[in-house]
Structure 1
């Protein structure tokens, strides 16, 4: 037996005895990489391929031309932390452990329970190297819910989403260690460089990279105004546009690197946003034709631009009306990599829609929001219901003819309203941290007390 083969077999035997999967790069048909790029507070209409006229996004537009652009994809929530929780757990905000933004002083957010099974755990089961670069927001440093305890091999970025408001931070986290920056480095550039390095390091083995970028979340900070320096716009809008275009350039650098390493054909690339646009200026029309924005239950708050590219598997230059959402991705990736998904998920696999273009009738979608009291929305087929307060009247919209949610047709369809009343009453489970509390005096203090109790080490 040749020495090289003998050494390889010996290595595989050792890995087997240790319970570690053998490197799939040695297989004839290696598992595909997954590169999941998520912007922060990017609106449905902020990309050229979704109708933006003023902000330049040529690289993301090219990604859409090389893959499929989805018109009815939904984030996990209308704000940051619960959207990420839905992505990680495969559960919507009626069941997910994190259903709102709750900060824990001096740094971090309310953690997920220690036994939470995440998307990163799923990839680890299949022998993937897992990385998170960017924003976490799902547990304070030292808690039971830091990235390394939730399935990620490598983490670089912000643990706390409140700290992520600053693009020139005092420090970032590298796994469980602080990397001191002293306010002298632009964090997005550092995270983009780290992403390139992660891909290079893992070029020969399957990887899952959650690249949770913080652009264009506040603050509006950028090293230069790029192509917008001489525009007559207000300074804050020039900075906002420059941030988005800077992110677009780094997406382009990642795509070039995949080509250079000859792994583009075995890498699924997603591009999405974590929720609707935070900004409401009239110049850029961030939500496009959709109503609402971040913190709203209307489509502009929960629908996301979404692009999927996988050469040879996902149709190029296509536009899809398939409904899917963040909590579908855990069961979808389970199908993709051949690992059983845990039971009790709200999501369904949409892999046939992604790779075969098949139309899947999606189960009802459910969202709840706790920062303005208690708001809910749901989608069943093409019907959309919105309710403000647990006992408020239901607004009803027919998205097949009114995606902008301009006309409330509840009075004309009492049977559909009753259907939504029944669904909204059963779509969630009670949570001590996220109880139903309509807007009443003292509510903010009650929520803070509950969050503090849940976050106590």
Structure 2
């Protein structure tokens, strides 16, 4: 009897040291949609577009209105999410095309969240839009930690929702040009997740909707609305995005992995429409002027995302958490959740937000930093509730108090020269010089082409 008790005690002690963490390691899904305005979702105040599945996700999880994107266009924002680096250090800081297909790739040796999780024993996949390197470059999704890829590699190719081909891993799959690509992407996503039910997995679900071209296979609820075709298509695209998220959430429940899966939802940057435009005005994408700016600018409307996180029993349900965090926090967060050890040379820009996701405190940090190199090289920095914006290296530094002026309508730089000086000093410290990304006041003759590629 005594030896049996000792054996039982020894066994329980041994089990207590086996990755705990093992049973606690969640599946992770990051759903990244394309060019969604924060105000496009019902849970964020939208009145005309229906998003019942995302509204339900918000009710069952926590909304994060101050989840910040990497920057305000596609490729660099996604690069920040994947690498854990803000724009001062990220190797991709703008959209740059590579002909005949693709974008400037992540360089050789770049650490990604997919690599970290794969090495920790996770199955990994990316479905939707990549835009960080074609398959013959070091930025290929298949060379930076993903076991499987399906969708568009090139973001310019992703402009078409009825393409003549998609990619299944690195194999080009011909299509008839009449099939709605998102249906194929959604189905591949569901098929892959179904196969992972008995093992930990990481899914980067990079849905292209509601990015332009604004094409939809069915206007659905909005067909008979007294709106323009563009307005109907846009609304239908957002609702289609919502329904595909719903299909994925239903599958998690069917597979009985719902309670051990962290799902984070976000957009890659702000809306592609100006607030007074045909779409921006009808759907009040600025939320009554609450957020200034949109895609390609570094005001809050271009950077704040419709953040939602859901993990039953871990992420508090029905809460709105106003603590700020950013895309570059995802890599260290995922590493902590996976009980993965980061290499010594891992980026230090991000902070784990595991505690924050679970309802605890946000990590302390000195600042958030952004830059973008489309036309002028623009910069922004948030420190505390202060936000500094510099729309070109020769432009004056603007200063806003987000606590009292979220709409960034009152530049108080002249009233606080000491804070302006502090912000400018931090901007210099935050960025690493890179010959690919010189600080330029105006890229005359280049901006138009790059802007077209980023639409």
Q: TM-score normalized by structure 1?
A: 0.90
Pair 1:276 & 2:277 matched: no
Cα separation, partners in 2 of 1:440 and 1:203, compared to 1, 3 Å: closer
CA contact (8 A) 2:97 2:450 kept: no
Pair 1:285 & 2:279 matched: no
Distance in structure 2 (CA, Å) of the matches to 1:217 and 1:344: 30
CA contact (8 A) 1:25 1:204 kept: no
Distance in structure 2 (CA, Å) of the matches to 1:447 and 1:48: 33
Distance in structure 1 (CA, Å) of the matches to 2:433 and 2:187: 42
Please give the secondary structure, in 1, of the residue aligned with 2:40.
Answer: coil
Pairwise CA RMSD: 1.9
CA contact (8 A) 1:437 1:443 kept: no
1:17-416 correspondence runs (5 A): 29=23, 31-280=25-274, 281-288=280-287, 289-342=290-343, 343-416=346-419
Distance in structure 2 (CA, Å) of the matches to 1:191 and 1:325: 27
Deviations 1:10-57 (A, max 9, x none): xxxxxxxxxxxxxx9999715210011111000111100111111100
- After superposing the two structures, state which structure 1 stretch, 87-96 or 138-147, moved more: 138-147
CA contact (8 A) 1:330 1:341 kept: no
Distance in structure 1 (CA, Å) of the matches to 2:390 and 2:181: 38
Please give the secondary structure, in 2, of the residue aligned with 1:422.
Answer: helix
CA contact (8 A) 1:40 1:214 kept: yes
Cα separation, partners in 2 of 1:30 and 1:354, compared to 1, 3 Å: closer
Please give the secondary structure, in 1, of the residue aligned with 2:307.
Answer: strand
- After superposing the two structures, state which structure 1 stretch, 182-191 or 238-247, moved more: 182-191
Deviations 1:44-75 (A, max 9, x none): 11100111111100100000000000121101
Deviations 1:264-288 (A, max 9, x none): 0000011100000002331012232
The equivalent residue for 2:421 is: 418
Distance in structure 2 (CA, Å) of the matches to 1:447 and 1:277: 18
Shift of the alpha carbon at 1:437?
Answer: 1.5
Cα separation, partners in 2 of 1:30 and 1:198, compared to 1, 3 Å: farther
Shift of the alpha carbon at 1:357?
Answer: 2.4
The equivalent residue for 1:454 is: none
The size of the alignment, in residue pairs, is 425
CA contact (8 A) 1:324 1:362 kept: no
Distance in structure 1 (CA, Å) of the matches to 2:64 and 2:432: 30
The equivalent residue for 1:451 is: none
Shift of the alpha carbon at 1:369?
Answer: 1.0
The equivalent residue for 1:430 is: 433
The equivalent residue for 2:6 is: none
- Could you tell me which runs of 5 or more consecutive residues in structure 1 were left unpaired when the two chains were aligned: 1-23, 449-457
Shift of the alpha carbon at 1:349?
Answer: 0.9
Shift of the alpha carbon at 1:208?
Answer: 0.1
